[in-house]
């Protein structure tokens, strides 16, 4: 089964919308199963798309791009895997063989476009400082429109030309380039976590951060167990805060009552 020009356009557009949605509206975000199902609908095999998307959704559970980190693009993998599975007739396994590597390839594109985005942001900031607001508003949407190409281009190449082209792109990238992207990608989570920590009350509860780090890094405690311990540790603090709020409300009510009596006496 070959792809028609309309199907190629729709599938590529779906990949473009996927990243645009994450950056703006967030209607579907990283709902991998949705993109697999829609791709199957475009190709006339909704069931295969749904099953492929659900499989990749399970693979991505617990994976999140926190603090600016990059992660495999599982929705893109679902779009490609569904397309290959349906068009070749070889099933989901054949689709995953191409979809997952392309999803991994998108990590490098994601880091590269984030670096480009920072350059646009600095340029917009310089226009703002100069009070050239028209130039600033013209430059800001450019990256919003360029960023989704990180998904659309790999999907287009993969569904039209197949695995050889994807492998050629990977082999074409020089070592210094891929190493540089990996280094930059490794720094982003640290920067993101540092930014998140600035909003946390570390002066008061910073010791819990150290305890959690020791449990995770040295004792290799699973995420679920670590989360349950965190909930248990937070309960006394939560109860204390609730009691303090109730005490304040009671004090305010008593104060209001006295004021009303004083006003009646007058």
What is residue 260's predicted lDDT score, i.e. its pLDDT?
Answer: 47
Candidate ranges 9-18, 165-174, 249-258; pick with highest mean pLDDT: 9-18
Alpha-carbon distance of 147 to 149, in angstroms, equals: 5
User: How high does pLDDT run on average in the chain?
Assistant: 79
Are 171 and 222 within one domain? no
Residues 195 and 218 in one domain: no
Residue 161 sits in the same domain as residue 103:
yes
Asked if the model's pLDDT at residue 67 lies above 80, the reply is no
- Among 151, 174, 199, the domain boundary falls at 199
Burial label for 195, CB within 10 Å (0-12, 13-18, 19+), is: exposed
Whether residue 102 contacts residue 230, with contact meaning beta carbons closer than 8 Å, is answered with no
Report for 158-172, 181-195, 220-234: range of highest mean pLDDT: 220-234
Residues 140 and 228 in one domain: no
The continuous run of DSSP H or E covering 4 comes out as none
Rounded mean pLDDT of 213-217? 87
Which of 149, 164, 199 is the C-terminal boundary of a domain?
199
In this structure, are 191 and 223 located in the same domain? no
CA dist 51 and 56 (Å) reads: 9
Ranking 33-37, 119-123, 174-178, 210-214 by mean pLDDT, the lowest is 174-178
More confident residue, 35 or 223: 35
Same domain, yes or no: 143 and 186: yes
Tens of pLDDT along 179-194?
A: 665 565 556 556 656 7
Query: Whole-model pTM?
Result: 0.60
Percent pLDDT > 90 in the chain is 12
Query: Do 155 and 238 belong to one domain?
Result: no
One domain for residues 75 and 119:
yes
Q: How many domains does the chain have?
A: 2
**Nearest CA among 62, 68, 65, 52 for reference residue 184:** 68
Is the domain of 116 the same as that of 236? no
- Pick from 199, 226, 242: which residue ends a domain? 199
Which pLDDT score is estimated for 41? 94
Reduced DSSP (H G I as helix, E B as strand, rest coil) percent helix, strand, coil of the chain, to 5: 80, 0, 20
Domain that holds residue 70: 5-199
Please tell me the distance from the alpha carbon of residue 217 to that of residue 18, in angstroms, as a whole number.
34
Neighbours of 192 (CB within 10 A): 15
**Per-residue pLDDT, 180:** 67
Q: How far is it, in rounded angstroms, from Cα 57 to Cα 51?
A: 10
Please indicate, yes or no, whether residues 127 and 228 belong to a single structural domain of this protein.
no
Residue the block writes with tokens 């449990």: 215
């Amino acid at each position: 089964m070959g792809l028609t020009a309309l199907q190629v356009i729709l599938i590529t557009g779906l990949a473009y919308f996927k990243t645009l949605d994450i950056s703006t509206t967030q209607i579907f975000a990283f709902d991998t199963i949705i993109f697999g199902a829609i791709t199957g609908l475009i190709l006339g095999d909704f069931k295969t798309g749904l099953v492929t998307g659900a499989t990749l959704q399970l693979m991505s559970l617990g994976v999140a791009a926190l603090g600016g980190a990059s992660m495999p693009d599982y929705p893109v993998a679902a779009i490609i895997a569904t397309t290959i599975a349906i068009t070749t007739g070889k099933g989901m396994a054949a689709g995953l063989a191409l979809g997952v590597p392309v999803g991994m390839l998108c990590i490098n594109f994601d880091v590269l476009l984030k670096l480009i985005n920072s350059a646009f942001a600095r340029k917009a900031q310089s226009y703002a400082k100069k009070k050239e607001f028209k130039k600033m508003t013209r430059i800001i949407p450019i990256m919003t429109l360029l960023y989704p190409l990180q998904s659309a281009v790999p999907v287009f190449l993969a569904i039209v030309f197949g695995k050889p082209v994807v492998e050629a792109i990977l082999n074409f990238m020089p070592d210094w380039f891929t190493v540089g992207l990996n280094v930059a990608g490794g720094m982003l989570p640290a920067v993101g976590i540092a930014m998140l920590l600035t909003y946390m009350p570390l002066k008061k509860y910073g010791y819990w951060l150290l305890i959690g780090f020791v449990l995770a890094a040295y004792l290799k405690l699973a995420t679920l167990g670590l989360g349950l311990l965190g909930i248990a540790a937070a309960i006394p603090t939560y109860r204390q805060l609730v009691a303090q709020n109730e005490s304040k409300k009671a004090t305010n009510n008593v104060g209001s009552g006295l004021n009303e009596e004083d006003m009646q006496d007058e």
